[in-house]
């Protein structure tokens, strides 16, 4: 059985005071990490503060990292640096980074290799645009991303990877993919992992759905066989909602 994983992606939201306030509200209310992995992926400026106050059940993640350990890369932060402050997870290849910051599959592949090397748990995002879905290119797009992003990763690494299926047309738009579409595409990702690796790996890997997940649709999404959790933007910003979302994963 795969343990569910619920991760909030705060994107570029919350000052330090707001982040600490969230932490005070969720502390003591998080369910046991024996039942669900709960993660908050925050912006760099608050990561250390959150790690210090994360308690036993919540883990902290970053939203991006550079693939080099150090170097002349003004404005970047390395995986090694993130790891050194106690961060456990890192989102890699979010569609906003691919679209707005020109991140390529080759960059993403290097970041995944580095994340495993420094022992961060990567959450790899894949997903199609509305145009690609309407032109029946969803499976091609996702397979191309997986083949390029996972190049030369071992099956032991891939087993520990979390993949977030995030259709770009459902992000921040209020349009959730129906649970059938979400499950079907997560199932396609699992099948592709089986083709690229083997059945054991495809059955072990955890696949999240992301895109307008909220307290009103999480139950249905989590009831689907191929969906092991959610990567949540807007609805993860409110402490009460985040607790509800995490609890929905263990019902
Ligand atoms: P929303 O939940 O705000 O649609 O964002 C989804 C997302 O991009 C999570 O990474």
As its CATH architecture, domain 5-248 has Alpha-Beta Barrel (3.20)
Four-CA torsion 48, 124, 33, 38, nearest 10 degrees? 60
pLDDT of residue 177: 83
Is the CB of 61 within 6 Å of ligand 1?
Answer: no
Does residue 137 have a pLDDT over 90?
Answer: yes
Average pLDDT taken over every residue of the chain: 96
| SS3 track for the chain | CCCCEEEEECCCCCCHHHHHHHHHHHCCCCCCCCCCEEEEECCHHHHHHHHHCCCCCEEEEECCCECCCCCCCCCCCEHHHHHHCCCCEEEECCHHHHHHCCCCHHHHHHHHHHHHHCCCEEEEEECCCHHHHHCCCHHHHHHHHHHHHCCCCCHHHHHHCEEEECCHHHCCCCCCCCHHHHHHHHHHHHHHHHHHCCHHHHHHCEEEEECCCCCCCHHHHHCCCCCCEEEECHHHCCHHHHHHHHHHCCC
Domain borders along the chain are 5-248
Sign of CA dihedral 3, 233, 77, 56: negative
- Mean pLDDT on 231-243: 97
What pLDDT score was predicted for residue 173? 84
pTM of the complete model: 0.97
Pocket flag, ligand 1, residue 237 (CB < 6 Å): no
**For residues 99 and 96, what is the distance between their CA atoms, to the nearest angstrom?**
5
**Burial of 200 (C-beta count, 10 Å sphere; 0-12/13-18/19+):** exposed
Task: Quote the pLDDT of residue 176.
Answer: 78
Q: Is 168 in the pocket of ligand 1 (CB under 6 A)?
A: no
Closest protein CA for atom 1 of ligand 1: 233
Q: What is the pLDDT of residues 46-74, one digit of tens each?
A: 999 999 999 999 999 999 999 999 999 99
Burial class (CB in 10 A: 0-12, 13-18, 19+), 17: exposed
Choice from 100, 166, 217 to test ligand 1 binding pocket (greatest atom count within 8 A of CB): 166
Cβ 210 vs Cβ 231: under 8 Å: yes
Q: Can you tell me the mean pLDDT for 170-199? A: 93
Q: Is the CB of 212 under 6 A from ligand 1?
A: yes
Query: Which pLDDT band holds residue 232 (cuts at 50, 70, 90)?
Result: very high
């Amino acid at each position: 059985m795969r343990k569910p994983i619920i991760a909030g992606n705060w994107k570029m939201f919350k000052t330090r005071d707001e982040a600490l306030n969230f932490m005070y509200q969720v502390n003591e209310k998080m369910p046991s990490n024996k039942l669900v992995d709960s993660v908050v992926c925050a912006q760099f400026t608050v990561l250390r503060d959150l790690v210090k106050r994360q308690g036993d059940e919540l883990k902290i993640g970053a939203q991006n990292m550079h693939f080099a350990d150090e170097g002349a890369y003004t404005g970047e932060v390395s995986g090694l640096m993130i790891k050194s402050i106690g961060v456990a997870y890192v989102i890699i290849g979010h569609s906003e980074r691919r679209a707005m910051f020109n991140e390529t599959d080759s960059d993403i592949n290097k970041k995944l290799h580095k994340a495993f090397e420094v022992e961060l748990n990567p959450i790899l995002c894949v997903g199609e645009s509305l145009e690609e879905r309407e032109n029946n290119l969803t499976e091609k797009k996702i397979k191309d991303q997986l083949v390029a992003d996972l190049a030369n990763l071992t099956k032991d690494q891939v087993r520990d990877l979390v993949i977030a299926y995030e259709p770009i047309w459902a992000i921040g738009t209020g349009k959730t993919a129906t649970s059938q579409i979400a499950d079907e595409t997560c199932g396609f990702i699992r099948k592709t992992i089986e083709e690229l690796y083997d059945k054991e790996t495809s059955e072990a890997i955890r696949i999240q759905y992301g895109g307008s997940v909220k307290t009103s649709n999480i139950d249905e999404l989590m009831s689907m066989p191929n969906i092991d959790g959610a990567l949540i933007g807007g609805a993860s910003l409110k402490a009460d909602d985040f607790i509800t979302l995490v609890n929905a994963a263990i019902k």
